[in-house]
Every structure is written in C-alpha cells, then in structure tokens.
Structure 1
Amino acid sequence: MKSKGLLSILTFSEKRKDILFLLEEKPSTLSDIKDHFDVSSPEISPRLKEMQAYNLIEKTDKHYQITPIGRAIITHFRPFLEMIETIEKNESFWEEHYLDDIPRHLMDNLMDLINCEVVSDSIENIYESHKTFTENISRSSFIKGVSSIFIPTYPDFVVGLADRGIPTSLILTEKVFSKVRDEHFDKMEFYLKSPHTELFVIEDVKLAFVVTDVFFSMSLFFNPDTYDPRDDLVGYDSSALKWGTGLFDHFKGISRKIVSI
C-alpha cells in the first residue's frame, strides 16, 4: 500500500472523507450510509470498496466500521482539515496581514479560530465596530487586552471599567504607554490605583486584541508599519477564548508590570 495512494483516497474525495467521519462515530449498514448521504448504492458502493482496499474501513456482517488504521489516521487528519478550513474561511484576512508576532505554538493551533468571523468596516466608519465592542465588553466579567495603537476614546473607556470594578489586565506598547502617560496622566493613575486592574508594558508588538469570558477580537497590521483599522477577527466559542487567553499570557510573560507612575 503506497502512502501516496492512501493520501489521495482521503484528499481527492469529499465523500470518502465524510464516510470515514461517519463510521468513526458508529458502525453503519449500507442502508444507513445511503440514507445519511442521500445517495444510491451505485454511487456509494465503489467508495466503500476503495476504503476497504486501503484498510480504512472493514465490513463485519452487515455493518461497515472504521479500522484501527482508519481511526489512527483520522485522529491526525481532522486537525489538518480544520486548519485548512480555518484559513480558507477567512483567507484574505490571513493572507493580507502581518503574522510574525503571533507565537509559533498558537499558529500551530490556528484551527481553534475556525468559528471566528471577520467583521469589516468601511474606511469612512472605522470606529463603528466600537459599538459592537462595547456591547460585548458590557456583558463581560473580566477583560484582558493588548494595544499597539492609541484610540482617543479608550482612556475614558478603560477608566470607566476600572470605576465599575471590572477586573482588567492591559498590555501597552512602549509608545502607547508613553502617550497615555503624558496626555492622560490622571486617568492612568486612577487606573493603576484601582483594586482590580493590571498594567503591563511591552517593547513593541504588531497586533491588538481583547479577550474576555464572552468574546475574542483581534486586529492586525498589513505590515510592521501599517495598521489595519477596518478588519477584526471576532469569535465567541470556548476555543477562540482559550486561544486568545493563550495569546495574552504569551505577551504578559515578556512584558514588565507597571505598579505606579
């Protein structure tokens, strides 16, 4: 059995792949398989024979079932397919942006963002997404974020979070930190003295994001010098929140904590 042939069995046929996933869940008769895919015997039988020939499935009595080899393959094949689907779903977002500051271990688990969607604003309304952002924040019980850009409304917004006692951890780049400290000293001081806040500073990073117990939202740069203010990748499921938390923990680990100014 040639590995090239085995690879083609799974990658060149959507139906064969789907059959393997079906039989991974439970053994099925030919009738079960036909009903599941709404196809006739002439359409499905050749696929089953091909998969039997490559020891992916076997037939016991009237039931087809996945083999140990088939189960071992699908364990590694599923993450591959999910990675491809994640990239293809938001292909332009991943192709057009600078990704070098996303750590390797999180790029390797990019499939955790498979359910995320890109939210885009026109250049004339680049702050419209802030409405959705604030709505999600208002439902959150804690906030963690990294900011490599300065948005004029954010100092007041963050002070409001601190004033309401919402646990907030922020990481600012050196440039953003200096700007906020110089232009909004009292607000930064109030934030630092609040009982449920943390502030960290990192030298530089070319992305911005927030993760809470409700949502994850990330924006990227087109290149190291140009920020994209229009497109945000937004997710709400547990996988996206876990991925975003991992991203925050990575940058927190290479940042310095600010206690007072």
Structure 2
Amino acid sequence: MTIEDILDYYEYVKEDLKFQGISSVRIKILISLYEGSKKTKDLRELTGIPASTILHGINELEKQKLISRKGDDFFLSEIGIISTLKLADMIKTRRLLKNTKKLWINHDIRAIPQDLLKKIGDLSNSKLIENKPDDMLKTHRIYLQTVDNSKEIKSVSPIFYSDYSETFKKLLKNNANVELILTEEILKKIIKSLNQQNLSELKRLLSDNKFKIWEIKEDIKVAFTVTDNLMILGLFSTDGIYDPNLILVSDNEDAINWGNKLFDYYQKKSQKINLEYFK
C-alpha cells in the first residue's frame, strides 16, 4: 500500500479522527514522511497543504520530538516512526470498518485471534459482497467464480454446500494445490456426499499428497478461503448461525498475507487426515 493510498484513506476517515482531537495537518505530514525524508515542496505536493501551514505543523511536531530536520530535509524520529506506523494502521482500520460495517455488527469475531484482530486494517481495501432480494445466491456464486481459476487454495470451512465437492474436484483436475481445514461434522458430510469412485479418487489424492485435508475438533465460527490472488472471509452471526448474505473479498497483498496467517493459526490446531482415517 502506497503513501498516496493511505492519504486517500485519511480523507475518507478524517472526520472520525478529528473527533478524537488529532490535527489533520500533522497527520498528513507524519504519513508523508513515513517512507523517507522530504522537503517542504514534496510535502506540499503530496498533501495539497500550503507551505506556511506545513511549516507550522512541522514546528509543532518537532516540539513533540516526532520529526527532525537536516538542512531542507524533514524526517521522522524513532518515536515518529513508531507513532506513524500505528497511525497508519488506525486509518486503515477506520476505513475498513466504515466501508464494511454490516459484516462486523452483530457478527461473531471471537474466531479471529487477537494478533490478527490488531492487524485487521490489512483488510482495508476489501469489498463487501451482499446478497440481494432478487439474487440470494450472489455471495456463493462469486465465491465459486473467484476460486475457479486459482492455482493455490487454502480454505477453512465449518459450513457445507453440496457443490463444494464438484468445485474442488475441478480444481484438482486443473492441478491446483488444495488444502482444506474442516470441522469434524463437515468432513463427514463431504465424505458421505461422495460416491465410491470419488471416494477412491480422494484416497488416491491424499496418498499422493496432492490434496491435503485437516480436521479440527473445535466448533469454529469463521469461514474463509485464501488463494494465490484472493482472500474471502465470512462470519457467523452472534446467534451462532453462519451468515451467507455477506462476504468480504480482497485481492490486496496485505489481505492475502493476513488470510494465510489465519489459515496457519487453524492448521496448527488441526490434525492432518491420511488413509488411516478411512479404516
């Protein structure tokens, strides 16, 4: 994510930050200096703020030891780097919550570990896909479309759709690398949905290590998929029922990395399935 992106995000959430008493000018100066030193004219071009206002803001930031200067160049101090890192994360988080509020209100987030909740701003450029009265399968259809051409798929699923088996069979035929973490209940449902031929094929793939499945004993309340170019996240309502009407989708590198970390978290809590499982 570039400085320009974060500055644009700030424009979107600045009233929220102003409510907390943070100066707009000082925020923009700090963010603009995050990737390296700049002169007054550089700051003016990045922020669109008059030079005289920038210099006043710089003086205030210097008093707080957040920035320093060397000749005509201004740069963040060590304290400034730490402060700005958190500031940028707060801006990204505010943007995410503002754009995708429906997903988080009255939905269970306890399945997301604290360290990843702290980095939830990494999902800031995600899109919220929502079912409509005239298209109640929109989220499911988009999910299938987005994973259809992927080469790497990692998925955690405590939910079951009858066409999942066909989808993953197609992916495997296209030589995709598929890794699934399934709850005990969902794993049994998927196996039950397979005919004898498909079950034999599943065993062959598992033995060849071309298809990897982990079983998790926990009753997890999050469903998500990470591919080589996409992250998709769905949540359960606070009443414990999965909400199929809303999914978060992002092709941003930060979001994909976030999703991979979430997958790793659940993989460590799961047991890999091998042929012994079927005996």
Letter in 2 for 1:147: S
Q: Partner of 1:122 in structure 2?
A: 132
* Alpha-carbon distance in 1 for matches of 2:119, 2:110: 15
Aligned length: 253
Contact 1:216-1:241 within 8 A present in 2 as well:
yes
Q: In structure 2, do the counterparts of structure 1 residues 126 and 109 end up closer, same or farther at CA, with 3 Å as the change threshold?
A: same
Q: Kindly indicate whether residue 198 of structure 2 is the aligned counterpart of residue 192 of structure 1.
A: no
**What secondary structure sits across from 1:214 in the alignment?**
coil
* Alpha-carbon distance in 2 for matches of 1:67, 1:225: 47
Shift of 1:98: 0.6
Q: In structure 2, do the counterparts of structure 1 residues 84 and 188 end up closer, same or farther at CA, with 3 Å as the change threshold?
A: farther
Q: Percent identity?
A: 24
Q: Partner of 1:144 in structure 2?
A: 154
Shift of 1:147: 1.4
Runs of 4+ in 1 over 6 A off after TM superposition: none
1:55-66 superposed matches below 5 A: 55-58=65-68, 60-66=70-76
Contact 1:162-1:191 within 8 A present in 2 as well:
no
Q: Kindly indicate whether residue 37 of structure 2 is the aligned counterpart of residue 26 of structure 1.
A: yes
Shift of 1:35: 4.4
* Alpha-carbon distance in 2 for matches of 1:39, 1:106: 35
**What secondary structure sits across from 2:151 in the alignment?**
coil
**What secondary structure sits across from 2:105 in the alignment?**
helix
1:86-125 superposed matches below 5 A: 86-125=96-135
> TM-score when scaled to structure 2?
0.78
**What secondary structure sits across from 1:200 in the alignment?**
strand
Shift of 1:45: 4.4
* Alpha-carbon distance in 1 for matches of 2:269, 2:76: 46
Q: Partner of 1:5 in structure 2?
A: none
Shift of 1:54: 2.4
Deviations 1:135-182 (A, max 9, x none): 322331121111111112112222222333322111221222222223
* Alpha-carbon distance in 2 for matches of 1:19, 1:71: 12
Gaps of 5+ in 2: 1-17
Contact 2:152-2:176 within 8 A present in 1 as well:
yes
Deviations 1:209-238 (A, max 9, x none): 111112111111112521111111111122
Deviations 1:73-97 (A, max 9, x none): 3244333433333333322312231
* Alpha-carbon distance in 2 for matches of 1:156, 1:32: 55
Higher Rg: 1
Of 244-253 and 88-97, deviating more is 88-97
**What secondary structure sits across from 1:21 in the alignment?**
helix
**What secondary structure sits across from 1:226 in the alignment?**
coil
* Alpha-carbon distance in 2 for matches of 1:191, 1:11: 59
1:32-51 superposed matches below 5 A: 32-40=42-50, 43-51=53-61
Q: Kindly indicate whether residue 265 of structure 2 is the aligned counterpart of residue 250 of structure 1.
A: yes
Letter in 2 for 1:202: I
Q: Kindly indicate whether residue 229 of structure 2 is the aligned counterpart of residue 214 of structure 1.
A: yes
* Alpha-carbon distance in 2 for matches of 1:163, 1:21: 47
* Alpha-carbon distance in 2 for matches of 1:165, 1:57: 52
Of 227-236 and 156-165, deviating more is 156-165
Q: In structure 2, do the counterparts of structure 1 residues 219 and 191 end up closer, same or farther at CA, with 3 Å as the change threshold?
A: same
* Alpha-carbon distance in 1 for matches of 2:264, 2:69: 48
Shift of 1:256: 2.2
Letter in 2 for 1:182: K
CA RMSD of aligned residues (A): 2.8
